[in-house]
Chain A
Amino acid sequence: MPWTDSSPTSRVFAQALKNPLTESTQGTTNLALPTTYSTTGGILSDTINVALFNNSVSPDASAAVASTGFNTGTWTTTNEVTDATNWVSGGRALASKTFALSGGSQTTASTMAFAAANLAGGGTLTITNAYGCLVYDSTITAGTVAKQGLCFNYFGGAQSVTAGTFTINWDATGIFKFTN
């Protein structure tokens, strides 16, 4: 089902939770990290890309790992929304990435959030009907899946730009987050 019928519409992939995001609970003896994933810097060192997609995708956070990568499963380039010059296939890379703990007390939850600088196209572009984005690790080049997806984020509806700028202003609570 498309973005508009999915619920919730912004989610972390279960397979990304298992590996690499919580892989350290098992250790590399029991579960090898994805191929070429940074063992020292994790997602803060890897190149994390954001690709735009139309409403023909069927976002599924419980998908098998082989279907969560960029250009696999539903996230194929035929469903991708691009601009020829300033938001090309594969998307744009996040900058100023952080993974930080905030808030929390004896009576309120803490949040561990992945955040990054807001993301804009490389210049004037034309984008038609982008409904959401796939956030994926472009540094993972092989294994069960290359360019493994971490999460997908819904834009709330169709977003289009004609000969203008396209900017993703991430939520103040992060691109994805864990809450206890």
Chain B
Amino acid sequence: MTRLLDAWQDWECPNCHLTERTRPLPPNASRMHNCPKLHGLTAPLVRTGSDCTLVAVERGDYLNGETQRRGDDGKPYMAVRVERADGSNDVVVFPGAAGVGAGSGS
């Protein structure tokens, strides 16, 4: 008799508590969502039970009209960080868009 194993991974957002269940993904693969508790920014889901926090990081430099990701609060954000209790972290960065022409922001 062959026993078939049904494996899965559980994901959650510690901020908005969205949960997902997926088939096992490759190591270090990320699941993203637009987090309503993180100004609507694209943020990673973490493995369920992870001891971590998600924080949105405002742009550290002046904008000068450049195109930069903004949250639903209108502020420019440059990253979302996952800070873990063991000192490790993940980061999702939001680079500016390079533009040419009227109103392109460059």
Contacts and interface: CB of A to CB of B under 8 A. Distances in A.
A174 B101 CA distance: 14
Interface string A105-146: 000010101000010111110000010110000000000000
B45 interface: no
A157 to B, nearest CB: 3
B100 A17 contact: yes
Question: On chain B, which size bracket covers the interface?
Answer: 35 or more
Interface string B58-85: 0111101111110000001111001010
B84 to A, nearest CB: 8
A99 interface: no
A39 B91 CA distance: 37
A179 B64 CA distance: 18
Interface stretch (A29-37, A63-71, A90-98, A161-169): A161-169
Contact of B67 (A4, A10, A120, A159): A10
Given A8-B105, A159-B91, A166-B90, A175 B64 contact: no
B106 A8 contact: yes
Contact of A164 (B76, B91, B93): B91
B49 interface: no
Interface SS of chain A: strand
Given A165-B90, A176-B100, A177-B104, A10 B66 contact: yes
Contacts of B36: none
A163 B90 CA distance: 8
Contacts of A163: 87-89
A176 B90 CA distance: 25
Interface residues of A, number: 51
B97 A109 contact: no
Given A124-B28, A165-B90, A157 B60 contact: yes
Given A155-B79, A156-B76, A179 B60 contact: no
B98 A164 contact: no
A154 interface: yes
Interface of A: 3-4, 7-12, 17, 109, 111, 113, 118, 120-124, 130, 132-133, 151-180
Interface of B: 27-28, 30, 32, 42, 44, 57, 59-62, 64-69, 76-79, 82, 84, 87-106
